[in-house]
Structure 1
Amino acid sequence: MGATTREMLSRFESLGDENRLRILTLLERHEFTVSELVSVLQLPQSTVSRHLRVLADDRWVRRRQDGKTRYYRLEGALEPGARELWRLTAESLSDAVWIGEDAERAGSVLARRRERAAAFFSETAGGWDALRDDLFGRDARFAPLFGLLDPEWVVGDLGAGTGTLAETIAPFVKRVIAIDRSPEMLEAAATRLEGHDNVDLREGELETLPLADGELDMTVLMLVLHFAVDPGRVLAEAARALAPGGKTRRARHARPRTRGVPRDHGPPVARLQRRPDGRVDGRPAGLDDYRHIPLAPDPNASGPMLFAGTARRPGEPRTTTGRLYI
């Protein structure tokens, strides 16, 4: 008897108990802890734990650990044979008396869970921001949004520095080309980015980028453009390296704060062409659809105020689905 046949027979056997069928029916709809299943099924905890162990061994359920609490759910990656077996089994149970009774008790359990969550957030609302940062770090505020990037994009991190941004973007896109003029910065970036096989570090000037025409789907100039002696040339090079419809994003200083920051900090900065409203104009670089977004100041920051700007190279985009540009 082959291993696959033995596995399927074992799975058949694990479905031969009504309580295990009740558990799977519940776990197909929601995630539950052992204690919650005990409340719904009205069975001893030892019995519920024993049945869960059988179902886990036969890969019917998956477990998720959250601190000291373990959650169970029907395995979402069942192979086709097991998925079809469960579908047929579930259909045959549609008239079982216990389905409605278990569903009613499960609703009460979930309602209590929602009430506990609501009470927690009501009690911690005043200090939630600090608690969230302490638990998950400040990056948790925005990092998940990178998942909206197109996974087929090639992104240029221009003025990559030590690779912080490239490290953040790399898991979400096909490739990151990180460019900086400083060998020391690139050495630090190489250390940071070890293990990220889809990041290409290149030494070069932003005014003469080591990139082919149209090589990038998106470029990012994060706190870089204000240091450029010829920012117009930098934008022109970014536009050249963009594919038609590609997007560029830049964040730069809007104006210095007065608190301990000299107005002429950093290297000399050439002025970009400005519109009558004072915003930087991307059109000299062959870009359009320019957007200018002032960023909310961090009260604890001592540096200058910032703004973000986005612009597009004219032409049809490579993809037409909804996208987030950063």
Structure 2
Amino acid sequence: MFRGLCYIIFFFLCLIQHVFPARILPPISPPEINVTNLLENNTWHDFSKFIDTGKGAKFPGMSELKKYFYRFGYMESFDNFTDEFDETLETAVLSYQQKLGLPVSGKLDSNTINQIMLPRCGVSDTDKDHKIHMHKHYAFFNGEPRWHQKTLTYAFSTSHMIDYISYSQIQGVFQRSFARWASTIPVNFTEVDDYRKADIKIAFYQGDHGDGEAFDGVLGVLAHAFSPENGRLHLDKTETWAIDFKTSGSNVAIDLESVATHEIGHILGLAHSSVNEAIMYPSLGPRTRKVDLKIDDVKGIQMLYGSNPNFKYTPSMESDISSGYRPGGRWVKWVTMLLLVIVGFLV
């Protein structure tokens, strides 16, 4: 009787594990946006006319889409971009869909165009100059560069800032953003006054500002940062930055803290993640707040620096794609084993 009970319990627990697996497939597009009808002053709104096109199609302006894919690392050559959906563009679209967790079709379906039109970080997804190494879903820059000191200093430019958010509020945003990363790794961050000597230099610029990565206007590239030990973190001054959507009525407002937290990840050595809930995913919709590190972010940064001895897992770190390796993610297995042991003793 007890042996029969054992088999019944084992069967139902296995059934639960099959029906409710620990790892859940990610949604096919970021949950916070659908940008097909986004305001027409965003940088890439013209790409909406390419929805449902595929190899062999030819449309005026498709060469601009190729420039987009080149800019973010999906095309290797900048020579002779035409308006034809050729094999090179198809390869770029396939790579883009695979990298960003979209349905892989090789066509410019609505999910892909929606993703392309989103405001995003200016750092390349698959760097055309430096190979990016993928580990699971998070990624590192070539050579896995990192800082070697335990305390990093940061400072704000005295001449390249915005004036509609107070300096103290901007300080608070970055203090919180740095603190999130510091809670996971044995690295501290300290604000200093000397911008020139600081390890991390934070400034707001617009257009071409001399670093080879020109900003491109509203709701295009939001910000960019450089891998260790460069330390430059630049935000697009033309964006409408916000720290509280309740007090910002703009429908193109961008959450400063979300972008700051993302760019600090680059400063520390993380490239873009393919997990769309992760901080290191490249895009962020307007009026969207996304500040919590996910397990994918944590695992990536701890691969570079080790774990903060006081680090604690919190439920806010969970995401669909990370649930397969969350602490306690194999609970069904352990409960099954424990019940089998108990029943074994009874038998």
Which structure features the higher share of strand residues?
A: 1
Which structure features the higher share of helix residues?
A: 1
If you compute each CA radius of gyration, which structure gives the higher value, 1 or 2? 1
Q: TM-score normalized by structure 1?
A: 0.23
Higher relative contact order, structure no. (Cα contacts within 8 Å, ≥ 6 residues apart): 2
Q: TM-score normalized by structure 2?
A: 0.22
